[in-house]
Amino acid sequence: MSAVFHWRLQVRPQQLSCLHTSASLESKEWEKKNKKVFPPQLPDEPRRPAEVHHSRRQIKYSKDKMWYLAKMIRGMSVDEAVAQLEFNDKKGARIMKEVILEAQEMAVKHHNVEYKSNLYVAESYSGKGTYLKRIRYHGRGMFGIMDKVNCHYFVKLVEGSPPKTEERTSLDHAKEYVQHLKNRTIIHSL
Amino acid sequence: MNLAALVHSLRCSLLRIESRLLQAAGLDRHLAPALAVNGPSLLPQLQPQDSIMWMAVPKKRRTIEVNRTRRRCDSKLLKVKTNIEPCPECGHLKQKHILCGFCYAKVRKETGQIRYQIQAMEGGPLRAPIEETVVLYDGETAGPQDKDKRIVERPRKRPAWFSS
């Protein structure tokens, strides 16, 4: 059904400052993560793998549609991820591939990564960018508010081979649940 | 097959017989009077054609958890393609049942150049000759088999993928 909305979208400028308490609209926290410097490692510590954080802001695409692509490439090596994105028909796939290739180049040039194929996608997710609101005209004088969406895309590449996730079947889940039920006992009993 | 209908009709007739017997005995007490006339009552309001009273409408707001489980269920997630392999000619990636994009682009570029030259030779539309066309590159001459054919000269080395 067509929706009728109250036209209460005018936000006064003095209201904007109190809308976000922690982060403002243009926070670049993800980019700052690349500048973090760790203390030198002790000789007996395991070697910390190199990490690259990269993002692209205000992509003209929906964050929900971008999420499906981000979910697909989570945990893949960069070569696999780039191959999958190259043959995916979505608009966000082309943009995501560019971002990952940029991040790979950055890793090799500035972040002391030896082999560009020795990277995997540790984190990848989409976030909401700024939305512009427009009127969408319906029949009988009704109107709706259309959102012109933008999204951000964040990716973190880590050096090394991708970690193997153990495949758990539904039977394993069921067995674990039954075992959990069997382990229950009465506490503070005689 | 019609056992249920038969049983139902039997039951109806039994009930009717029972009520008739009770009526005759005078033991049943109808709560309504013997004679009842339907008096004037408010006719139901005729719904106008465009009323929204009988539209299917959600009863409750769907929570974000319910929405997320529907949007992120296994059938809606993207499938990983297993048919990607490197092209043996150029090394770029290609799908098994589709031509390599890079090789196709390079062939298209060269055929575009040949077509441009043919266009210059013909000088206008609908002037294609009846004879076959043969493309010759640098350092190649027309052989005996190219006697009655139109020759298109390309001023470059023959590409490796274009066999003569």
Express each pLDDT in A48-71 by its tens digit: 999 999 999 999 999 999 999 999
**B95 part of contact set with chain A, CB < 8 Å:** yes
Residues of chain A with C-beta less than 8 angstroms from the C-beta of B68: none
The mean pLDDT value for A31-36 works out to 96
| Lowest model confidence (mean pLDDT) among A137-146, B9-18, B155-164 | B9-18
The per-residue pLDDT for B18 is 72
The per-residue pLDDT for B54 is 83
pTM value?
0.73
Residues of chain B with C-beta less than 8 angstroms from the C-beta of A71: 72, 77-78
Q: What are phi and psi of B54, to 5 degrees?
A: -115, 30
Task: Name the token pair of B73.
Answer: 């269920």
**B77 part of contact set with chain A, CB < 8 Å:** yes
The per-residue pLDDT for B14 is 73
**What is the separation, in whole angstroms, between the first and last Cα of chain A?**
64
List the domains of chain A with CATH numbers: 49-183 (3.90.470.10)
Instruction: Decide if pLDDT at A19 tops 90.
Output: no
Q: How far apart are CA B68 and CA A68, in angstroms?
A: 12
Among B112, B85, B110, which Cα is nearest to B100's? Answer: B85
Q: Is the ipTM of this complex over 0.85?
A: no
AA identity, residue A153: Y
Q: How far apart are CA B115 and CA B119, in angstroms?
A: 6
The mean pLDDT value for B145-159 works out to 94
Tell me the pLDDT band of A124, cut-offs 50, 70 and 90.
very high
Given a contact cutoff of 8 angstroms between Cβ atoms, the answer to whether A145 and A48 are in contact is no
Tell me the pLDDT band of B101, cut-offs 50, 70 and 90.
very high
Q: Do B80 and A72 touch (CB under 8 A)?
A: yes
